[in-house]
């Protein structure tokens, strides 16, 4: 199938008015694309533009592509018109299978057949999403990490009916569009990043449930311990480098037996009312009287700084 040259793409369509959909639109605008954004109803326009404007400040700080402008956004609630001219589609519709299936059925009509359609889904199998799509072979998962306008990760995987070339194309395109694409070898729940985060999260819940730590303790430990290093090296290379000449081999040979220690609780803890209250109260205490929007803005500034710091350390 003759797909567009990934480096020649000029027009990207996005679907969805939530933080993911609008976040994607912000990202593509900042990378200098024309963006056709479909929202379900024009009632959602204000919410969409608020997310876009918040994202934009941080994107400016990170550095815009030449010619990038919010004026290159075309916002509409007419799906067919929005898809007209799109050379790539990023779909971030609600996470309900019947909504996605009906949407992909329409998209097979409205989007040129050689154009890749990527779903931001975090939990629905692409094999099910593509079930009613007449052109399923060009549909993939392109799962971002929140906030999608700042965190570069996109996890890509195809479904049963996906053509391998669509996966390859998506990887190339995302790279050109300033993302860090990760092609999954298999479609597993949670992909890679969420699985890792979830493993850590379960252990955190166990510690709170057992009275060994508060939510504040958990966050103090992460922020001041493994996370700043992990943001630069990941975990494999953090261990590899920390073990000096011997690297990962030393790590596994020396600490391998420790894997068998009862260091992680195994199954998920029971989400009792008490555990729920501890988690909720703990977070509310940390937040104090700060509004979540202020904390999200502060987070975004921090992520911009972290990303810039990592960029500088590499160069």
Among residue numbers 237 through 296, which ones bind its own copies (CB under 8 A)? Answer: 237-245, 247-249, 252-253, 256, 258-264, 266-269, 271, 276, 279-280, 282-284, 286-287, 292, 295-296
Please, which of residues 143-162 interact with its own copies by CB under 8 A? Answer: 145-146, 150-153, 155
Between CA 60 and CA 38 the distance in angstroms is 24
Of the candidates 43, 160, 188, 274, which one interacts with its own copies according to CB under 8 A? 188
Phi-psi region of 183 (alpha: psi -120 to 50; beta: other; left: phi over 0): beta
Q: Is 30 in the site for its own copies (CB under 8 A)?
A: no
Q: Is 2 in the site for its own copies (CB under 8 A)?
A: no
3-state helix, strand, coil in the chain (%, to 5): 55, 10, 30
Q: Is 46 in the site for its own copies (CB under 8 A)?
A: no
Only segment of 9-17, 65-73, 142-150, 163-171 that touches its own copies (CB under 8 A): 142-150
Only segment of 7-15, 30-38, 103-111, 235-243 that touches its own copies (CB under 8 A): 235-243
Q: Is 175 in the site for its own copies (CB under 8 A)?
A: no
Between CA 126 and CA 139 the distance in angstroms is 8
**DSSP 3-state assignment of 11?**
strand
Only segment of 4-12, 21-29, 131-139, 184-192 that touches its own copies (CB under 8 A): 184-192
Q: Is 96 in the site for its own copies (CB under 8 A)?
A: no
**Token pair recorded at residue 213:** 């730590």
Q: Is 131 in the site for its own copies (CB under 8 A)?
A: no
Mind giving me the DSSP string for 168-201?
Answer: HHHHHHHHHTT-EEEE-SS--TTTTHHHHHHHHH
The residue among 164 and 185 lying less far from its own copies, judged by its C-beta, is 185
Minimum CB separation of residue 185 from its own copies in Å reads: 6
Please, which of residues 212-231 interact with its own copies by CB under 8 A? Answer: 212-213, 215-231
SS (H, E, C) 110-166: HCCCCCEEEECCCCCCHHHHCCCCCCHHHEEEEEECCCCCCCCEEEEEECCCCCHHH
Minimum CB separation of residue 46 from its own copies in Å reads: 16
Strand ranges in 197-248 using DSSP code E only, listed in sequence order: none
Of the candidates 42, 46, 81, 236, which one interacts with its own copies according to CB under 8 A? 236
Minimum CB separation of residue 270 from its own copies in Å reads: 9
Report how far apart, in Å, the C-alpha atoms of 300 and of each of 61, 216, 262, 263, 270 are. 11, 20, 36, 33, 33
Minimum CB separation of residue 181 from its own copies in Å reads: 9
Q: Is 63 in the site for its own copies (CB under 8 A)?
A: no
Q: Is 70 in the site for its own copies (CB under 8 A)?
A: no
The residue among 8 and 211 lying less far from its own copies, judged by its C-beta, is 211
Between CA 73 and CA 82 the distance in angstroms is 11
Residues in CB range of 149: below 8 A, 6 or more apart? 23, 24, 26, 27, 30, 55, 58, 59
Q: In which element (H, E) is residue 17 found? A: none
Of the candidates 201, 209, 274, 288, which one interacts with its own copies according to CB under 8 A? 201
């Amino acid at each position: 199938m003759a797909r567009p040259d990934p480096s020649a793409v000029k027009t990207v369509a996005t679907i969805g008015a939530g933080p993911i959909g609008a976040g994607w639109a912000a990202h593509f605008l900042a990378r200098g694309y024309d963006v056709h954004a479909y929202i379900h109803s024009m009632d959602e326009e204000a919410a969409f533009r608020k997310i876009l404007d918040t994202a934009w400040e941080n994107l400016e700080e990170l550095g815009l592509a030449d010619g990038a402008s919010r004026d290159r956004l075309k916002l509409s609630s007419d799906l067919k018109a929005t898809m007209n001219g799109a050379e790539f589609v990023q779909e971030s519709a609600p996470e309900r299978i019947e909504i996605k299936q009906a949407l992909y059925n329409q998209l097979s009509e409205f989007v040129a057949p050689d154009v890749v359609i990527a779903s931001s889904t975090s939990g629905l199998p692409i094999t099910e999403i593509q079930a009613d799509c007449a052109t399923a072979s060009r549909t993939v998962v392109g799962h971002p990490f929140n906030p999608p306008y700042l965190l570069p990760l996109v996890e890509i995987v195809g479904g049963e009916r996906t053509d391998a070339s669509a996966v390859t194309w998506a990887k190339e395109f995302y790279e050109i569009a300033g993302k860090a694409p990760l092609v999954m070898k298999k479609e597993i729940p949670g992909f890679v990043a969420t699985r890792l985060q979830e493993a850590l999260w379960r252990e955190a819940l166990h510690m709170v449930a057992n009275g060994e730590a508060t939510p504040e303790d958990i966050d103090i430990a992460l922020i001041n311990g493994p996370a700043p290093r992990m943001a630069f090296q990941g975990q494999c290379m953090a261990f590899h480098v920390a073990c000096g000449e011997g690297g990962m081999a030393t790590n596994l040979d020396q600490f391998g037996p420790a894997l068998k220690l009862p260091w992680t609780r195994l199954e998920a803890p029971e989400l009792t009312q008490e555990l729920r209250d501890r988690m909720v109260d703990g977070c509310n205490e940390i937040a104090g009287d700060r509004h979540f929007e202020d904390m999200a803005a502060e987070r975004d500034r921090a992520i911009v700084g972290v990303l810039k710091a990592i960029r500088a350390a590499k160069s």
